[in-house]
Structure 1
Amino acid sequence: MVPVTMHDSSQVARLRDALGAADYTVDGCLDALGRQAYGALSRSEVVPALRALRGDDGPLATLIGLFLLQSPVPYAHARAALPLDEAVAGGLVVRDGDEVRALVDIRPYGEADTDWWVVSDLGSGIGGVSGPVRPDHVLGIGGASTTLAGITVREPVDRALDLGTGCGVQALHAARHARAVTATDVNRRALDLARLTMALSGVANVGFAEGSLFEPVAGERFDLIVSNPPFVISPAGRYTYRDGGLHGDQLCEHLVRNVPDRLAPGGTCQLLANWQHVKGQDWTERLRDWLPSAGFDSWVVQREVQDPAQYAELWLRDSGDHTGPDYAARYDAWLEAFEEDGVEGVGFGWIGIRRTDGADATVRVEEWPHPVEQPLGAEIAAWFRRQRALRGLDDAALLETAFRLAAHVVQEQTGQPGAEDPEYVVLRQQRGMCRADRVDTVGAALVGASDGRLTAGAIVDAIAELLGESRTALRSAVPESLRALVADGFLLFPDDPGAGWRP
């Protein structure tokens, strides 16, 4: 693998200017290719893009062909689109006769008001690499990295840590709301490419440290820790970008158990993880055992579960091993390792931990495989705020609070046609986590009347009178379900700005 040596600031500036001048940005590529072809690229399909660019030899089409389609382009076209001699000397591209080929992937990326360029190794899915990737392969932008970016809390912080930065995606996002970001990785090539990602993207507040897990930042604390770690549970640690080198899911467990010592007061950690479903064990209890029991709130969401065969197939395809002669042997070894450990499935999801320094802790471990609306960072921040606020209210104080219904909540009723009353009522969020909570008649009436003017207790009293029930009995029965509705974000505290909902 050719080393990337383009670190001179003037060279990087000329390359950045060339990319910008060609409009090699997310919007520029979308305009050039169209939504269908651009979407097909995310599935590693290039035919729609080739059709869209047919007959176009301009700088933008050249850059798309070179880096996104990983196809050779004519030398003259490459020279017109890039500072070519510097790109060749820097290990980004190589001349092959009358053509130029990319040696790395330079991909447009960004947020609504900014353009970045992310540098990674060529992937095995399109055509830049055939067969298995190298052990020090640096993965580019993928579903996991964009998922983590979307769920991360984006509050202003002093110090942030991107643990296992890879090509630097999380560090880019964190640099926008953190005074300083430290990006670590055990893979030196990843740090080289991440440095180039920052330089090309004009990001100056990210520093780098080489080493495993928390070793490069021993003794330091951070306001935000994000990590898309090498969480893959594999029988052999072949690839630095995905295989943590520890047995089973021990790497993710190690991270979670050591996070509390690395968080500053009020700090938040968010990471992606895989965990084993072991025969005879409750997976939720396994995860609860990893999490801190006091002084921290924790929220674990399992998004997907795969059986051992599905899991092995996924990651053998990911690395390009599915086309190699050792595919069957590697597949068999993976299944053998799972069988020896009693693994019946592997869960994938998110783990969030926030330091509260309180005597109590809220620990929620749940499965939610249903669609959600990204970005979720604001909703996750609101969840942590709600748990802390709820702990500070006894039942009497809870009933003296004037809650209001969150925006984008609808009520659904299910029952037999013509029946006087529904069999059950469901409250459904149309944004954010898109939860659906079943409520009884009292819960539905309480939520419907919560507009921020009457206290929950006053509404309960009115419901009791309407139903002919005891006010005291209903006041005693309601707080448990009321807390659940607030915890899930169906009802908001008076000073809650809306838990991230967008009108």
Structure 2
Amino acid sequence: MDPVTMHDSSQVARLRDALGAADYTVDGCLDALGRQAYGALSRSEVVPALRALRGDGGPLATLIRLFLLQSPVPYAQALAALPLDEAIAGGLVVRDGDEVRALLDIRPYGEADTDWWVVSDLGSGIGGVTGPVRPDHVLGIGGASTTLAGITVRDPVDRALDLGTGCGVQALHASRHARSVTATDVNRRALDLTRLTMALSGVANVGLAEGSLFEPVEEERFDLIVSNPPFVISPNSRYTYRDGGLQGDQLCAHLVGLVPGHLAPGGTCQLLANWQHVKGQDWKERIREWLPQSGFDAWVVQREVQDPAQYAELWLRDSGDHHNSDYAARYDAWLEAFEQDGVEGVGFGWISIRRTDSADTTVHIEEWPHAVEQPLGAEIAAWFRRRQALREHDDAALLETAFRLASDVLQEQTGQPGAEDPEYVVLRRQRGMCRADRVDTVGAALAGASDGRLTAGAIVDAIAELLGEDRTALRDAVPQSLRSLVADGFLLFPDDPAGV
């Protein structure tokens, strides 16, 4: 039986029951392996897990060896852990003499109060899989997919779109806060495995559509669009899961350009992307040209930059091409393409866009390689709310607002030992983006006194009296720094529900 049809019968329910009975869940695997061995799996290292399972022939250990470690298991143990005949007929595993080995990766996944199982192709470099992956390879759960899941705004919505769903990770998350989810992919195999992922995980509100980018939903609009697209900048289009088929970073630019036509009023789009750092061009201006000019707010965060050699090595390893005899030739071709295009580096990060229908557009593009606290979805939602609120308040209205200091803010002072006054003061947030803003004496005093009872103007007046400064002049000077403190989430509007 082909995996695409397993969801239509009770057989997938028996498989799900077997996985649950063995406690083949995130928590169950963590308990069985321990944190060290479980963490090593994220680096494709299986030795600690094999050691942790030594001598254990139970169903959970068997499933971990079979699907997570991609190691063959004795037939008798597989028979005790799975509805084996159905798993073989469904193409999930294959019998090889007295052993059974996996043909697909079935991986426990979930949120705090739910368990899912995600089906994908076996990963390269784990177990016995050492060669290049197939052209229609379906990538499993990785750092990119968990990053996107963490930054996605989780407000309840009517319709969500997972564009380029792969194995269905983003659609699983969206299914919990969207009435309906559409998952698209140009790779039919990806849709086949996503269909099995949804059936195995008991998710019923996700529909599938085949096609490139927005083609399957050409006339439709969504409240939430998420995408982990094939953003890799490569000299060819060998692998569907990573190569978009356009030169350089044009796939990401093209995708961003299509977003405005598919967002419902108030809708949000969030996607991961790569962009080129081209000699003689500001990368921020390059990204700015991709973004809508009005009616939408946008926040772009660059998390890291790799030089061309690092980038080529990363993706050659990812596809398993580093095991191939033509590795050096492929590596050289990649570097040649970068050199011809004047590429000095490749940036990675995320792009968040919200439809506001306002003529006054806020576009913020920044580099932020520092630590952040995931999940960031609530922080990104708050960022858009703050931009909208700042747009609606002129300077006079800001001074008449009783702000409150975010609960995670600490103050740091730096100066010479014994000095009467610090050289400078920094306000630092402990959550979300973990920002640090340098402020002057007035800014520090304003933040410290903002407890939601006094207006900013009243606090400024008190500061002016204390410092012996002109009240009117200080009122004129403060709004600019006040807007910055609000924009970065240090000061919150009275009705802001942000908990970060």
TM bin, normalised by shorter chain, reads over 0.9
Q: Residue 500 of structure 1 aligns to which amino acid in structure 2?
A: G
Structure 1: gaps (5+ residues): none
Q: Residue 81 of structure 1 aligns to which amino acid in structure 2?
A: A
Question: What residue number does 2:463 align with?
Answer: 463
Cα distance in 2, alignment partners of residues 378 and 118 from structure 1 = 25
1:189 and 2:185 aligned? no
Cα distance in 1, alignment partners of residues 189 and 342 from structure 2 = 36
1:237-386 superposed matches below 5 A: 237-386=237-386
Question: What residue number does 2:421 align with?
Answer: 421
- Native 8 Å contact 1:4 1:91 kept in 2: no
1:158-237 superposed matches below 5 A: 158-237=158-237
- Native 8 Å contact 1:405 1:491 kept in 2: yes
Q: Deviations over 1:38-61 (max 9, x none)?
A: 111111111111111111101000
Cα distance in 1, alignment partners of residues 449 and 372 from structure 2 = 27
Cα distance in 1, alignment partners of residues 164 and 345 from structure 2 = 25
- Native 8 Å contact 1:5 1:91 kept in 2: no
- Native 8 Å contact 1:236 1:245 kept in 2: yes
- Native 8 Å contact 1:122 1:128 kept in 2: no
Helix, strand or coil: the match of 1:95? strand
Q: Given the superposition, is the C-alpha separation of residues 4 and 76 from structure 1 closer, same or farther in structure 2, using an over 3 Å criterion?
A: farther
Helix, strand or coil: the match of 1:208? strand
Instruction: Report how far residue 128 of structure 1 moved.
Output: 4.3
Q: Residue 299 of structure 2 aligns to which amino acid in structure 1?
A: W
Question: What residue number does 1:11 align with?
Answer: 11
Cα distance in 2, alignment partners of residues 261 and 91 from structure 1 = 40
Question: What residue number does 2:389 align with?
Answer: 389
Normalising to structure 2: TM-score of the pair?
0.99
* Larger deviation, residues 28-37 vs 98-107: 28-37
Cα distance in 2, alignment partners of residues 476 and 279 from structure 1 = 42
Number of residue pairs aligned between Structure 1 and Structure 2: 499
Cα distance in 1, alignment partners of residues 79 and 499 from structure 2 = 47
Cα distance in 2, alignment partners of residues 5 and 359 from structure 1 = 49
- Native 8 Å contact 2:3 2:193 kept in 1: no
Helix, strand or coil: the match of 1:34? helix
Q: Deviations over 1:403-440 (max 9, x none)?
A: 00001110111111111111111111111110011111
- Native 8 Å contact 2:3 2:196 kept in 1: no
- Native 8 Å contact 1:382 1:500 kept in 2: no
- Native 8 Å contact 1:6 1:91 kept in 2: no
- Native 8 Å contact 2:4 2:195 kept in 1: no
CA RMSD after TM alignment:
0.9
Q: Residue 220 of structure 1 aligns to which amino acid in structure 2?
A: E
- Native 8 Å contact 1:279 1:344 kept in 2: yes
Q: Deviations over 1:458-483 (max 9, x none)?
A: 11111111111111111111111100
Helix, strand or coil: the match of 1:132? coil
- Native 8 Å contact 1:22 1:60 kept in 2: yes
- Native 8 Å contact 1:222 1:264 kept in 2: yes
Question: What residue number does 1:91 align with?
Answer: 91
Question: What residue number does 1:117 align with?
Answer: 117
1:488-503 superposed matches below 5 A: 488-497=488-497, 499-501=498-500
Cα distance in 2, alignment partners of residues 177 and 343 from structure 1 = 40
Q: Deviations over 1:204-229 (max 9, x none)?
A: 00000000001010010000000000
Instruction: Report how far residue 65 of structure 1 moved.
Output: 0.4
Normalising to structure 1: TM-score of the pair?
0.98
| Structure 1 runs, 4 residues or longer, greater than 6 Å off | none
Instruction: Report how far residue 125 of structure 1 moved.
Output: 2.6
